[in-house]
Amino acid sequence: MDYILPYTFLGLAGFWGYQSRGKVFLGAVIAVLLSVSCNILSGAIYFGSYAPEGMNPWIYSIVYNMMSNGLEGALSIFVLMLLPLQRFADTILKK
């Protein structure tokens, strides 16, 4: 649950299309949110015992996963929006 589902969710980003920057952004945001949510769920259920004593496992999992996977996803979306997406799409469609 900590590896297969989150990466599967990231792979779903392309279902929203590549025709516009908005569709690419929406697909990436939804995929990252689903992936991070799955990691949070997995962290709270399976790794909650590693939370510091007296700390709620759900809070620990949310903070931990948002600081690692959430930040990585946000940076990835930022870089994705800087890429010349239309040029990539034109190159792929010409083949």
What is the domain-level CATH number for residue 68?
Answer: 1.10.1760.20
Considering the domain boundaries, does residue 95 fall inside one? no
Q: Note the pTM of the prediction, 2 decimals.
A: 0.86
Domain tally, the chain: 1
Asked if the structure places residue 79 within a domain, the reply is yes
- ∠38-40-44 over CA atoms, to 5°? 120
Residue 37: domain span: 4-88
The model's pLDDT over 70-89, given as tens digits with 9 standing for 90+, comes to 999 999 999 999 999 888 87
The 10 Å Cβ neighbour count of residue 92 is 9
Contact at 8 Å (CB) between 23 and 17?
yes
Within-domain flag for 11: yes
In a domain, 47, yes or no: yes
List Cβ neighbours of 23 (8 Å cut-off, separation of 6 or more).
16, 17
Give the residues of the chain that fall short of pLDDT 70: 95
